[in-house]
Structure 1
Amino acid sequence: MWLSNGQGSDTPSSIRIRENQRRSRNQRKELIQDLRRRVQEYEIKGVAATQEMQRAARKVAEENSLLRSLLASRGVTHNEVEAYLRSFKTNTTPTTPTTPTTITPETPIDTGLLISCETAATIIAEMRGDGDRSRIRASLGCVGDEECNVKNTRVLELMDER
């Protein structure tokens, strides 16, 4: 005979089964809560990563604009910059211009294609967040603290190395 409160007919086996079922439901509930929390964390991290990537892209675009402005102030035309950038899309190493340039004593060196080593080192250091200008100057080919000039193309190559 079954009692209405269910206490009289409980066998140790049925009690154990109910306890196991209750534990299983609680574990499943906790697991679902944990999974929801983790999904929410990943969504938040994904949004943060996307925002960080957008900030980095804006910073790169701004730096590119400033660098193009600097190159223009040094006499490098927009077409020269574009041609230089295109040379990397088809080749893995930079190419020299197809038009040979010969410099005679009567031909002045085009200083618009050169930049002071100190200025170049400053630009690269700021872009990289690297304060070791002497190491950067050495990578530009400058010796000691002597004031010298380097080609703009060399500066661009070092900026790309990062």
Structure 2
Amino acid sequence: MSLPAASTPPANVQVVDLAKRYDTGADATTVFEQVNLEVAAGEFVAIVGDSGVGKSTLLNCLAGLDRWDQGQVLHQGQDIGRLDEAGLAVWRRAHVGFVFQAFHVLPHLSVAQNVALPLMLLARGTPAEQDARVQAMLAAVGLGDRGQRLPQQLSGGQLQR
């Protein structure tokens, strides 16, 4: 008796022969090249390396924030490199969550409003459902009692969460 072959779920993100270079005038600087990667839905991946080796640049390419010079970035089979800026913005809004090193919060909005902003932009749920989801997210990271504070009223670690 033979067992059926294990099926591998299709890649949620696939990177094919990706390269990024910066043209510095007299010569080009290669940040990375020949990057190939597949990430399945629900899979966690860590990108590690020394400072300055291109980790943030690679993540910016995967999120469609930076353009690359060679290769493809596919999300669920869609080549995001073929999208224009407006298309990339719509794609990011629907599919990408990013925690920047510099936080990139809106200083005039409360912590809860900053967390709620993507839900409002996507029109996901009623305002009451959005509020409940925001409170659950804040509670999950230990900030349930800090939602009404402004970002500058939080510590660095709290702000990162």
TM-score strictly above 0.5: no
Q: What is the TM-score normalised by the length of structure 2?
A: 0.24
Structure (1 or 2) with the greater helix fraction: 1
Higher relative contact order (CA 8 A, sep 6+): 2
Q: State which structure, 1 or 2, has the greater radius of gyration over its C-alpha atoms.
A: 1
